[in-house]
């Protein structure tokens, strides 16, 4: 295919410039990676908005799904600074985003997705001198979704959202331990075995949980 056109899920030039791994290791990681770097977000976009769009690339029937979302934060103010990581359970899901989501709009901004070698503690913080992303320090335009003029200015628009959003991550801990895992694959013996025995299958007769439950609810509501 690459002969006639470039596939959109070809890994692009974005690199974690602080990663010490050499290029080859980097490539090996990317070939298996289920993590995306998502850029050009509005500072006010929520994880749930991100979840809504990015869940369209999941393949739950193959054991996939969104594992976790890590919001990029300003190192100093602990407020979102316009990027995030979306981690899936499978590599194919991350590639699908590069084909179908990168270059489309989220929260009315064109976002950019790149395959990422994987989240490590500390990477959720901006690397700019002011605490945010480096690109916002050099920006010349007025961008209401990213704090107005580059670095310092106050956004006049979206004040309401701004107030709501800026408090969300005020409790963000310093790493390690600040970022949840999102849940691993199924393991035996995690949930109670007794409950598993109560699972019904068509071979069981006359043991109707639904009716039991309804009856119970009625009694309790009546009580």
- Site for another protein, residues 61 to 100, rule: CB under 8 A: 61-65, 68-71, 90-92, 96, 99-100
Shortest Å, Cβ 138 to another protein:
28
In the list 106, 113, 115, 155, the residue contacting another protein (rule: CB under 8 A) is 106
CB of 207 to another protein, least distance (A): 11
Shortest approach of another protein to residue 84 CB, angstroms? 10
CB of 27 to another protein, least distance (A): 16
Under 8 Å between Cβ of 30 and 24: no
Footprint of another protein on 158-187 (CB under 8 A)? 160-161, 168-169, 171, 178-187
Check if the beta carbon of residue 71 is closer than 8 Å to that of residue 42: no
Nearer to another protein among residue 140 and residue 190 (C-beta): 190
Nearer to another protein, 123 or 150 (CB): 123
Question: Taking the complex as a whole, how short is the minimal distance between the CB of residue 150 and another protein, in angstroms?
Answer: 25
Q: Other CB atoms closer than 10 Å to residue 46's CB: what's the count?
A: 18
The CB-of-169 to another protein minimum distance in angstroms stands at: 8
Residue where the block lists tokens 């500390």? 122
Which neighbouring-strand residues pair with 112?
39
Instruction: Give the DSSP per-residue string, the chain.
Output: -TTTS--TTS--S---TT--S-HHHHHHHHHH--EEEEES--TT--HHHHHHHHGGG--GGGT--EEEEEEEE-TTT-SEEEEEEEEESSHHHHHHHHHHTTTSEETTEE-EEEEES---TTTTB--STTSS-HHHHH--S-BGGGTBSSTTPPP-SSHHHHHHHHTTTTTPPPSSS-S-----S--TTSS-HHHHHT---TTS-S--HHHHHHHHHHHHHH-
Binding mask 119-158 for another protein (x = CB under 8 A): ----------------------------------------
Tell me the site size for another protein, rule CB under 8 A.
76
Nearer to another protein, 174 or 212 (CB): 212
Q: Tell me the closest approach of the beta carbon of residue 222 to another protein, in angstroms.
A: 13
Site for another protein in 195-214 (CB under 8 A): 195-196, 198-203, 209-210, 212-214
Subset of 29-68 contacting another protein (CB under 8 A): 46-49, 51-53, 56-57, 59-65, 68
Distance from the Cα of residue 119 to its chain's centroid = 11
Residue with token string 């602990």: 78
């Amino acid at each position: 295919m690459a002969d006639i056109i470039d596939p959109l899920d070809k890994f692009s030039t974005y690199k974690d410039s602080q990663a010490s791994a050499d290029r080859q290791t980097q490539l090996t990681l990317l070939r298996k990676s289920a993590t995306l770097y998502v850029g050009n977000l509005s500072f006010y976009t929520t994880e749930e908005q991100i979840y809504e769009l990015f869940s369209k690339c999941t393949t739950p029937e193959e054991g996939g799904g969104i594992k976790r979302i890590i919001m990029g934060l300003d190192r100093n103010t602990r407020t979102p600074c316009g990027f995030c990581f979306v981690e899936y359970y499978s590599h194919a899901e991350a590639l699908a985003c590069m084909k179908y989501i990168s270059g489309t709009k989220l929260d009315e901004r064109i976002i950019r997705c790149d395959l990422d070698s994987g989240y490590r503690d500390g990477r959720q913080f901006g690397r700019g001198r002011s605490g945010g992303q480096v690109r916002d320090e050099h920006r010349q335009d007025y961008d209401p979704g990213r704090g107005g003029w580059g670095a310092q200015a106050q956004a006049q628009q979206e004040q309401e959202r701004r107030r709501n959003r800026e408090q969300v991550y005020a409790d963000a801990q310093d790493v390690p331990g600040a970022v949840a895992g999102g849940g691993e694959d199924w393991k035996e013996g995690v949930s109670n075995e007794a409950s598993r025995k109560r699972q019904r299958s068509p071979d069981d007769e006359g043991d109707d949980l639904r009716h039991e439950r309804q009856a119970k609810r009625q009694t309790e509501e009546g009580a």
